Homo-oligomer: A and B are copies of this chain.
Amino acid sequence: MALQGVLRPGHIALRVLEIGPALKHYIDLLGLHETGRDAQGRVYLKAWDEHDHHSVVLREAEEPGMDYVGFRVDSEATLDRLANAVKESGCAKDFIWMEAGEHLHTGRRFRFTVPTGHSIELFATKDNVGCATGDVNPDPWPDGLRGMSPSRFDHCLLYGDELDDTVKLFRDVLGFSLAEQVVTQEGMQIAAFLTCSNKAHDIAFIRHAEKNKFHHVSFQLDSWGDVLKAADLISKHDVALDIGPTRHGITRGATIYFFDPSGNRNEVFAGGYIHYPDKPTITWHDKDLGRAIFYHDRKLNEAFLSVLT
């Protein structure tokens, strides 16, 4: 098999202040579909083109932010192998096996904390509930799309302090490639965009004084036209806009950032190049950070470095 080991970002668990407005946001505006609720009151959601039972899990909490992000690996055997490798890496701690069924329709998950302070999970099993177009004579898109209707949960961007060992863990232990990085003149890496696929990124980290901060969760759109539609919907629904429509220098993606009712930042984006493991890492100098992040504005907006959950 040409794609092995860690396959993709499989789910992200977010804290929201109130589940009602959150569902209105993620279902009516963003266009995800609810696939279940568990005894704890967590709500499970998926995007229309995903087969797995869920990719977003919401729970009510006092503070917004991310509980954990989970990556699907190719098999239970790989899960055991990678769990051991993570344990032995010296780059993680707080190892926990979450038992099968703790997430609806999902097998056991191996959870650990990376040096930036974030909880990461690996899992191999989640029920295939089918994508909205089916797998026999499918239409290119399903009836009944709502809102921005992204096809997939794509990646998240996390802020934390110990970037070096976190990146080392993802690259050396989990097999990710470093697609892009931002480095200071002194050679310190201040941002790392990591991929386990042909996508430009599957997870990204930015060096930041505080541990375990969440910048955004991102969902994939088809086109720049869909980014405009998303922007219009943001205004029609009086949602808090962060920035966009614009383009990232990093990944080339066309993008817009906005906030859910709890203050968690969302992104929907389209485009980007095809990554291969032998593609050289793209390096941005920190003096070009503005252009790297927001290619058109060529400067960061105030929120980018300060508004985190």
A residues lining the B interface (CB < 8 Å): 1-8, 49, 51, 72, 74, 128, 135-141, 143, 151-152, 174-177, 196-199, 220, 222-225, 228, 231-232, 234-236, 241, 244-247, 249, 252, 254, 256, 271, 273-274, 276-285, 288, 291-292, 295-298
6 contacts between A and B (CB under 8 A): A3-B4, A3-B197, A137-B283, A140-B252, A222-B271, A225-B225
Contact, CB under 8 Å: B197 / A273: no
Of A140, A151, A176, A241, the most chain B CB neighbours within 10 A belong to A140
A273 CA / B138 CA spacing, docked (Å): 12
Number of copies: 4
Q: A235-B296, A235-B298 are in contact. Are A1 and B135 (CB under 8 A)?
A: no
Contact, CB under 8 Å: B246 / A137: no
Contact, CB under 8 Å: A2 / B235: no
A291 CA / B273 CA spacing, docked (Å): 29
A154 CA / B159 CA spacing, docked (Å): 35
Additional A-B contact list (10), CB under 8 Å, known A2-B176, A49-B274, A197-B198: A1-B5, A1-B175, A1-B277, A3-B276, A4-B4, A51-B278, A135-B281, A135-B283, A232-B247, A234-B296
Among B232, B234, B288, the residue within 8 A (CB) of A140 is B232
- Among residues of B, the one whose C-beta sits closest to the C-beta of A71 is B2
Contact, CB under 8 Å: B241 / A298: yes
The minimal Cβ–Cβ distance linking A249 to chain B, given in whole angstroms, is: 7
Residues from chain B with Cβ under 8 Å of A298 in the complex: 235, 241
- Among residues of B, the one whose C-beta sits closest to the C-beta of A154 is B274
A178 CA / B221 CA spacing, docked (Å): 24
Among B225, B273, B292, the residue within 8 A (CB) of A151 is B273
Contact, CB under 8 Å: A246 / B225: no
Contact, CB under 8 Å: B138 / A249: yes
Contact, CB under 8 Å: B235 / A7: no
The minimal Cβ–Cβ distance linking A138 to chain B, given in whole angstroms, is: 6
Q: A3-B276, A4-B2, A198-B199 are in contact. Are A288 and B137 (CB under 8 A)?
A: yes
Q: A1-B175, A2-B4, A274-B199 are in contact. Are A228 and B235 (CB under 8 A)?
A: no
Contact, CB under 8 Å: B231 / A140: no
A223 CA / B222 CA spacing, docked (Å): 9
Residues from chain B with Cβ under 8 Å of A292 in the complex: 137
Q: A1-B5, A223-B224, A228-B224 are in contact. Are A296 and B244 (CB under 8 A)?
A: yes
Contact, CB under 8 Å: B228 / A276: no
Residues from chain B with Cβ under 8 Å of A198 in the complex: 3, 197-199
Residues from chain B with Cβ under 8 Å of A72 in the complex: 278
A280 CA / B2 CA spacing, docked (Å): 16
Contact, CB under 8 Å: B232 / A136: no
